[in-house]
Structure 1
Amino acid sequence: MLFIRLLAIGLLLSGCTPAYDYAEDVDFTRFNSASLAPGSDLDSLDGARIAAAARTQLPTRGLNLAPPEQASLWLHYRLKSETKLLTTMPSMLSRHGDIRDDEERVYGAVRQQKLELWLTLPASKRVVWRSKHNSAFPADKLSGGERSRRITRQVGELLATYPPK
């Protein structure tokens, strides 16, 4: 039982890297340029912040900025709504057999948004790489510079998983 608890703690702590996926049959070394996908939201405040962060950080991932018609990849982004369940943690120090202290209980739910980025091939619109942040997108109570800093950090953490290893 102790092993299972330690394993659960290890899994919780290792969940810091954003989840990502990619097409295994694609040679990512052949891509050298990217553009924001046509139709990207650049008019909203958060859309402009995400776009600015991506434009700054794409070159650090080996993708130079190019016009959409010349780019080898298009970058898309969205805020994906999810429901996070609020739960109690099982007691790690409970005695064996005391089921009341050994159960995880749901006591509420919160709606939150998570930032997702993906890259497509311009000609076919085929998705070749995708990453979704584990943490919630900055809440509405944040504004201005702090909101921009957090968005820039999330975009950077997502793009750190490109190119796939």
Structure 2
Amino acid sequence: MEKPAMLRLDSTARTTPGCSDRQWAVREAVLKWAHNEDLLDNPVPVLGAFVVGASVGWPGESLTDDEVVRASLWLTRMGLFNSVDLDPAFGHRATIYRPRITAEGIRVARGPDGVRGVSWPGITIRPPGRPTLPPRDLTPPPQPTA
């Protein structure tokens, strides 16, 4: 059996415009938590700030439920979660979130780049230090000479 995934602190050190290091770290933590739940064969994991933090050994200021839910919705948009079932809690106003990790999510959770290496349709997020070549279809066509 594979060991549970722990949060890689080095993955939070990279910078990406538009998102804070904490947002990226929360996304990484939620993905690792879902992977750990999959390893434990938990068919109906319940997403929560405390369980995510405990599962991955979250350092520093505690996670909030809002951060964890936003991260799970982002992971769903990126194709790393199949769905986030919203089960209304009986007799409560709260909603219970039950994300399901995809095969791609498992691959990313096990991989070296983490969530910052994920591609979105038309966009590739790459860690700094790797050269990015322009797409070939954006090269202007040769101009005819007279």
Kindly indicate whether structure 1 or structure 2 has the higher relative contact order, using CA contacts under 8 Å at least 6 residues apart.
1
Same topology, TM > 0.5: no
With structure 2 as the length reference, what TM-score do the two structures score? 0.26
Q: Which has the higher helix share?
A: 2
